[in-house]
Structure 1
Amino acid sequence: MEGFVQNTILITGGAGFIGSNLCEYFLGLGNKVVCLDNFSTGHQHNLDGFIENPNFKLIEGDIRNIDDCNLAVKGVDYVLHQAALGSVPRSINDPVTTNDVNVSGFLNMLVASRDEKVKRFVYAASSSTYGDSIGLPKVEDVIGKPLSPYAITKYVNELYAEIFSRTYGLETIGLRYFNVFGRRQDPKGAYAAVIPKFVMQLMKYESPVVNGDGNYSRDFTYIENVIQMNELAMKSQNEGAVNTIYNTAFGERNTLNDLIAYLKKYLSEFDSKIADVEIVYGENRIGDIPHSLASIDKAKNILGYNPKYSLQDGLKEAVSWYWDNLKEK
């Protein structure tokens, strides 16, 4: 898209999975990109492809430190706020740190952005905000009660963003991400996302453990769709586009059993033995909702969102990347 050449964009959490993809994309368009990251969950190797780009600046800092936030926003036109501690289980095990990063850190970024008079603050919200709401598909203005400390923090982000829009005139847009996956997503650690974790296990002929009977469903969203939404949210001049929330998803749900079947199919094209790996079923996980499906009508109608990658389309690309980059040589 045109119109953002040589703007300066701050991407918090820019060394993480989503953040590094955003850094790469916007640098590719000719923008200047500032990355703020403390490397608690992000990785230096995610930046290897563009760390030497003269338009790229890395600030190693923490959003819990207001001075780091103030430094990062200097001279910035737009903020794409991705920094957070994700994972429902992590928040259940350590709600205090999750709150410090996701709420206090978020507030610091809002204050710094307000004071620097940035043009727009686009932030990563979460489908976890829908909580115990049982209606499908999920529509932005109908939510339930949160089911985890993580979900509470992400809902509080939305409340703070709304107040800063109303009180200080800061343009904000929240993007409720639905189960994002793709290249650079970390397969390691106790809180690894399900897709790269399953891929790593299948490549080692280890049996993935599916929570429950595998019939829980999710609106899996490929990284390219998320990049599109961030760009549209940043540049949209449509009336009523700002100071609101948008679902960021493909608008289709697949069960965990569907997901496993696709992963085995696509990985088997690289190694036929993977097709024979058995799947293990365990207990349902605390804080998980049974089903998730987004209505993307609002994003389509107001922002012109047009997601190109279904789960299968995204997995074909992601599996190839995983094989090239994660397979033990």
Structure 2
Amino acid sequence: MHDFKSNPQFQKLQGKKVLVTGGAGFIGSNLCEALLDLGVLVVCLDNFATGHKHNIEEFLGNDRFTLIEGDIRNLETCQKACNGVDFVLHEAALGSVPRSINDPITTNEVNISGFLNMLVAARDNGVKRFIYAASSSTYGDSKELPKVEDRIGKPLSPYAITKYVNELYADIFHKTYGLDTIGLRYFNVFGPKQDPNGAYAAVIPLFIKKLMNHESPVINGDGSYSRDFTYIDNVILMNLLCLTTENQQALNQVYNTAVGDRTTLVQLTELIKKYLSGYDPAISKVEIVNGPNRRGDIPHSLASVEKAMEMLGYEATHSIDKGIDKAVKWYVENQHSF
């Protein structure tokens, strides 16, 4: 992980209390680690629906870490979790476009009702700042590239609707109750602790696992679809900048959280093969298979990160190349755990 302690701006967080919802998930557990490293008191709320105990195992003995096992769909649980908290990093959600297509009701309950519970609890407990995981899926059918925050299209999936509604609710909670919020539209985040298993596994951990087992990964479509793949350290950086910014204009905004570069699925697969072959040369010979396009998928995704650069001083620390190198190393070293 990037050394965030060397940034004097982030040292202001020492001794503060931060709630990370979904803290046992991929992004949440990485945020917990970075915050503990900075001397923060961390409260993790998770119901382990998609998160894992093993992601937070190493923190359980830390006296600055508190685990609350509970569900954001329960307002009482949210109130308890927000008690005495300075800041909230709200990562808890049911991700995945296909999952939302298969089960729109649960996706809506978690991502909208759960989100509203968290906003109410944050408001009631006097939380100073509420930073939440928004999504690049909000851009919907907009064909414009790169994606700029104030221009979106119509959502293409139930998941995308829920993430857009989050932005609308956050805006209203600021205007009505004075709660400061920031939404981070994550673009295809990847890195250590991302689960390669299950029906809704993200493409990078899924392909890494397949290739490590000498199985052919299946690319949806012809592989020309492209994404702004974003290594986890860039996401942690954005969250820390949002927690500590003193620029009042930067609050109550949404920001693309990405690299500002795009990679096709074919290029991505070649990159993963390249780095994995360094550990196991036989992987370079594994064939790639093409399958049908996926419902609800947008062809191309590329973020403009100018707003984050200008308002927050953001500068991505990891390109796709550097990120894949680090991610592959982690999966090779931790393959016993998945």
Above 0.5 in TM-score? yes
Q: Which residue is 1:43 aligned to?
A: 52
Corresponding position: 1:270 with 2:279: yes
Say which of 122, 129, 143 aligns to 1:134: 143
Q: Which residue is 1:92 aligned to?
A: 101
What is the identity, as a one-letter code, of the residue corresponding to 1:318?
A: A
Deviations 1:185-221 (A, max 9, x none): 0000000010000000000110000000000000000
What is the identity, as a one-letter code, of the residue corresponding to 2:300?
A: H
Q: CA deviation at 1:327?
A: 5.5
Q: Which residue is 1:207 aligned to?
A: 216
Matched residues in 1 for 2:244 and 2:318: separation?
21
Say which of 215, 230, 244 aligns to 2:239: 230
Say which of 308, 314, 318 aligns to 1:309: 318
Q: CA deviation at 1:50?
A: 1.2
Give 3-state SS (helix, strand or coil) of 2:248's partner: coil
Q: CA deviation at 1:328?
A: 8.3
Q: Which residue is 2:87 aligned to?
A: 78
Q: CA deviation at 1:146?
A: 0.1
Q: TM-score, normalised by structure 1?
A: 0.99
Corresponding position: 1:124 with 2:147: no
Give 3-state SS (helix, strand or coil) of 2:122's partner: helix
Matched residues in 1 for 2:69 and 2:245: separation?
30
Matched residues in 2 for 1:224 and 1:192: separation?
20
Say which of 202, 206, 218 aligns to 2:227: 218
What is the identity, as a one-letter code, of the residue corresponding to 2:212?
A: M
Q: Which residue is 1:251 aligned to?
A: 260
Say which of 6, 19, 38 aligns to 1:10: 19
What is the identity, as a one-letter code, of the residue corresponding to 1:126?
A: S
Deviations 1:252-278 (A, max 9, x none): 000000000000000000000000000
Kept in 2, the 8 Å contact 1:98–1:150? The answer is: yes
Q: CA deviation at 1:2?
A: 1.9
Give 3-state SS (helix, strand or coil) of 1:34's partner: strand
Kept in 2, the 8 Å contact 1:95–1:150? The answer is: yes
What is the identity, as a one-letter code, of the residue corresponding to 1:319?
A: V
Q: CA deviation at 1:49?
A: 1.7
Q: Which residue is 1:286 aligned to?
A: 295
Q: Which residue is 1:109 aligned to?
A: 118
**For structure 2, which runs of at least 5 residues remain unmatched after alignment?**
1-9
Q: How does 1:22-37 map to 2 (within 5 A)?
A: 22-37=31-46
Matched residues in 2 for 1:242 and 1:166: separation?
12
What is the identity, as a one-letter code, of the residue corresponding to 1:98?
A: T
Give 3-state SS (helix, strand or coil) of 2:12's partner: coil
What is the identity, as a one-letter code, of the residue corresponding to 1:309?
A: H
Deviations 1:221-271 (A, max 9, x none): 000000000000111111311111000000000000000000000000000
What is the identity, as a one-letter code, of the residue corresponding to 1:113?
A: A
What is the identity, as a one-letter code, of the residue corresponding to 2:206?
A: K
Kept in 2, the 8 Å contact 1:215–1:257? The answer is: yes
| Runs of 4+ off more than 6 Å | none
Corresponding position: 1:175 with 2:184: yes
Q: Which residue is 1:147 aligned to?
A: 156
What is the identity, as a one-letter code, of the residue corresponding to 1:288?
A: D
Q: CA deviation at 1:51?
A: 1.2
Kept in 2, the 8 Å contact 1:178–1:247? The answer is: yes
Kept in 2, the 8 Å contact 1:203–1:327? The answer is: no
Say which of 38, 62, 73 aligns to 1:64: 73
Q: CA deviation at 1:326?
A: 1.7
What is the identity, as a one-letter code, of the residue corresponding to 1:323?
A: V
Q: TM-score, normalised by structure 2?
A: 0.96
Give 3-state SS (helix, strand or coil) of 1:156's partner: helix
Q: Which residue is 2:170 aligned to?
A: 161
Kept in 2, the 8 Å contact 1:31–1:55? The answer is: yes
Q: Which residue is 2:6 aligned to?
A: none
Q: Summarize the Cα distance change of 1:117–1:328 in structure 2 as closer, same or farther, 3 Å threshold.
A: closer
Matched residues in 2 for 1:75 and 1:326: separation?
38
